[in-house]
Structure 1
């Protein structure tokens, strides 16, 4: 098996506020291998974005990495000085941020913004950087690429702005691309175009990709493997087909139950997950999903389960050999 491009172990991040310590990430571990698309999925506040922003050390005020490690191609990202880390970000690690409407500088042309990323990391002249920017616009399928370099962000649609963001992220041919909710602000048709573009570029360039989303439809369409996060923890991880075919955690089942199935002509009602996410100012001792789980046992409330399994792992006491038997985690049968 090839060596991981990114290896994260026991990452813990908190935000220190006037109300107290918010434990946003509580010991997350995962690997991303060359050419793989890893999906991070979960509700808002589950720790998806904070996990990746911790790896990049782009936390907002009050945020602090308390423990853990993050190794990118053998380099410990958490111990690098700021200059060395800046040399990696935007170069060997590309990032697509959430909102294309606000991520671009409205006072600069899109061409200048792409060229800025190139000139920051590559020993090229401005004419060479301009040619590279044109190549990138053509790569992300922006028509009339040379002419469009002179446009300002407000002259582009949302989908075109997102293509510019992808061009900036790919400017230096990164080994790892982190895409944080890259289609959130776009309509459904444009979402599909952007996802198809990302998948195509990943395959052509051989990048590893981390795709952060709350949308299981996006996960099913483009990822190879999935991490399901909740309460700052990995609750389940599996190859994407295994996860959808046989979810091992009640939270994953709940997420799938809230997704409409367009192949189902029985007009099945969607099943929302009852209750609310945990208060991360005072995380529960046991499984953070236990108060909302239809299968919760006394042990679930008192003791945090480990991740059971190998390739397909689930943080659930139902996976313990002595636990009651549950059919597809939907109903107790014995």
Structure 2
């Protein structure tokens, strides 16, 4: 990622979005483990750091907003105390200075009466306000990278929009990079610069928002976009759901994980995982699909443009 970039990671539940980002921070549950690969941050491989070094980095250089603020916040401590202890963990300042910084952060994320509300407990806040506390905590040490894991889950649409606009404004104001994990393509279209589409624990497609929405190159991305209602033309249309269910990744398939649900699947799809192909007619757009092999059948919308069909 580039500094100041907002990357959206999208896909169905179980596609590997959250676990990928939890792996970056090495916060996997006891039944998970990292068996290989790299996670490079400022030239450092996070997989090679010891636990003390990772503890210094978490909450400092990399901030995290978790899915459910009610279960992420400690119910026995005031919300202000939880932010204060995060600041004191990473900054050599006094408790009074940390308290002042916490009030400034609450004001930054627009929590009313910040000086009084830092003494409140999580159950005294609404869902939207608890999420603002989580954002304040994640920003407390001015991270270079903020990971927001489904930050609008379980919030009504009005509060969702407020939280997303707040994240966008804070990102612009502070200049940090943001990874936004979501299953909501509307969210992705509104606030991100680049999109990664995941399925079965793999990147299926990646590209700029404009390129990916204008011409998706993977059947799974097409399926996701086809299942979203489009109200722009005023016509009533039936949604086109993706048939079938995601694979059981405890027993990963030999080939493309999307093959059993793909209308364009070939024998090759069941037998081998395709590489990521670069799109010759799009900048920085890649797709993991055998249809982009030079000898693959020509499919309109995937490896053939509308102009070529005509």
* TM-score (normalised: structure 2): 0.95
Structure 1: gaps of 5 or more residues: 1-31
Matched, 1:328 2:297: no
| Offset of residue 264 of structure 1 | 3.2
Change (3 A) 1:212 1:261: same
Matched, 1:230 2:230: no
Q: For residues 44 and 250 of structure 2, what CA distance do their matches in structure 1 show? A: 32
Q: For residues 144 and 275 of structure 2, what CA distance do their matches in structure 1 show? A: 31
The count of corresponding residues between Structure 1 and Structure 2 is: 303
Q: For residues 149 and 259 of structure 1, what CA distance do their matches in structure 2 show? A: 40
Q: Which residue of 1 aligns with 2:144?
A: 175
Q: Deviations over 1:114-154 (max 9, x none)?
A: 11111110011111011100110111111111111111111
Q: For residues 263 and 89 of structure 1, what CA distance do their matches in structure 2 show? A: 43
Please report the RMSD computed on the Cα atoms of aligned residues, expressed in angstroms: 1.6
Q: Which residue of 1 aligns with 2:47?
A: 78
Matched, 1:313 2:281: no
Q: For residues 233 and 72 of structure 2, what CA distance do their matches in structure 1 show? A: 39
Q: Deviations over 1:46-89 (max 9, x none)?
A: 11111111110000012110110111101111111111100000
Matched, 1:286 2:255: yes
SS at match of 1:60: coil
Task: Report if the CA contact (8 A) 2:291-2:303 is conserved.
Answer: no
Structure 2: gaps of 5 or more residues: none
| Offset of residue 281 of structure 1 | 2.2
- 2:65 paired residue among 96, 101, 108: 96
Q: For residues 75 and 279 of structure 1, what CA distance do their matches in structure 2 show? A: 33
- 1:64 paired residue among 33, 39, 49: 33
Q: For residues 83 and 185 of structure 1, what CA distance do their matches in structure 2 show? A: 34
Larger helix percent: 2
Task: Report if the CA contact (8 A) 2:79-2:121 is conserved.
Answer: yes
